Amino acid sequence: MIVHAKPNLLNVLITLKGSIARRIARRTLMVSALASLIVLVETLHPAFYAKVNATPFTLLGISLSIFMSFRNNACYDRWWEGRKAWGQVVIEVRSFIRASCVIADPEQRALLLRGLCGYTHALGARLRGDDELKAATPWVGDAASLPPHNLSDGILQSLGARISRLAQYQQISEWRYMTLEQRLKGLSEAQAACERIKATPLPFPYTLLLHRTIYLFCVLLPFAMAEPLGWLAPLFTAIVSYTFFGLDAISDELEDPFGRDENDLPLDAIVRTVERDALSALGYTELPPALQPVDHILS
C-alpha cells in the first residue's frame, strides 16, 4: 500500500510510486506513436487521409467513462471490504486477548495467543498464495498435523478444541468459553469474507468488454484528432490514453487486494500488529518492530 504525504504540485507531476505510469507506459507510447504516424500521413499525403468526425468519439468517450467508473467502484469496494475484514481480524484477536486474561495456566494462554499469531500468518500466506504451513509453523508447533487444505481454519478448530477442554475441566467458566468462542467465530467470518473476495473475481466478460473498448477507442482516436489538431494530436492522444489505460490498470490492481502490488493491502504490517499485541500480552518486552513503509510502500 502506498503511504505518502500529501503531494505538492511538483510531486504530482513527477511521482511514479503508485501512479501506474510504468505499467502503462508502453501502451501509451505505442498509441502516441500511432498518432504521430497518422498526423505525418495527413500532412504529407492529405489525399490518402479521410476526415473523421469527432462526434462519435465524444459519445463513446462519455459512455466509456461511465462504464469505467462502475468497474472502478466495484474494484474499490472489494479492496475496502478486504481491509474491513482484516480490521475485524485485529479486533477479534485483541478481544480474545482481553477475555483470555482469566486463564490461570500461563502455558495454556501462551499456546492460545501464539496460535492466534500462527492463524494470522497462515491466513496472510493463504490469500497471497504462499505456503501456509511454513508461515504458521514458528507459532503453532503441531501445524503439520492440521488439515493441509485449509490450515488457517484448522488452527481455529484447534484453538476451539483447546478452549473447550479448558471449559470441560472448569479452568474457565461456561460464559467465558462462549465469549472466547465468539471471538473465534468472528475470525472465521473475516476469513470467509477474504476467501470470497479472493475466489470470486469480477465477471470476465465485463472486464473483457471494457479492455477491448478502451483499446479500440485509443487506437481510433488519432484519426479524429489529426486533422483539427495537427502535431498536437499525439500529445492529447497520450493524455487521453494515459487516463483510460491508467484507470483500467488501477482497477486490475484493486480487484485482488491481497496481492503484492504497490496499491494492495499491507497484510504483512497488519499481521505484525497482531503479533506485537499477542506477545505484549504474554509479557514480552522486546517486541518485533512495527513494519514501516520502504520507499513509500507498506507491505
Say if pTM beats, i.e. exceeds, 0.85: yes
Query: For the chain, how far is it from start to end, CA to CA, in angstroms?
Result: 6
- Band of residue 160 on the pLDDT scale cut at 50, 70, 90: very high
Is 201's pLDDT higher than 90? no
Provide the pLDDT for residue 218: 87
Alpha carbon 8 to its chain centroid, in Å, reads 26
DSSP string for residues in the chain: -B--PPP-HHHHHH--TTS-HHHHHHHHHHHHHHHHHHHHHHHH-GGG-----SHHHHHHHHHHHHHHHHHHHHHHHHHHHHHHHHHHHHHHHHHHHHHGGG---HHHHHHHHHHHHHHHHHHHHHHTT--HHHHHTTT-TTGGGS-GGGHHHHHHHHHHHHHHHHHHTTSS-HHHHHHHHHHHHHHHHHHHHHHHHHH-PPPHHHHHHHHHHHHHHHHHHHHHHHHHHGGGHHHHHHHHHHHHHHHHHHHHHHHSTTSSSTTS--HHHHHHHHHHHHHHHTT-SSPPPPP--BTTB--
151-177: b or e for each residue (b if 16 or more CB lie within 10 Å)? bbbbbbebbbeebeebbeeebbeeebb
Q: What is the mean pLDDT of residues 277-289?
A: 91
Could you read off the pLDDT of 29-66 as tens digits, one per residue? Answer: 999 999 898 888 888 777 766 677 777 778 888 888 88
Selected residue with higher pLDDT from 196 and 219: 196
**DSSP state letters, 12-72:** HHH--TTS-HHHHHHHHHHHHHHHHHHHHHHHH-GGG-----SHHHHHHHHHHHHHHHHHH
| pLDDT at 107 (0 to 100) | 93
The half-sphere exposure of 220 on its side-chain side, counting CA atoms within 13 A, is 15
pLDDT digits (tens, 9 = 90+) for 234-281: 899 898 888 888 888 888 888 999 988 888 899 999 999 999 999 999
Q: What is the mean pLDDT of the chain?
A: 87
* Residue keyed to cell 505456503: 131
pLDDT, residue 166, reads 92
Confidence of residue 19 (pLDDT cuts 50, 70, 90): low
Residue range 209-229: mean pLDDT, rounded: 85
| pLDDT of res. 139 | 92
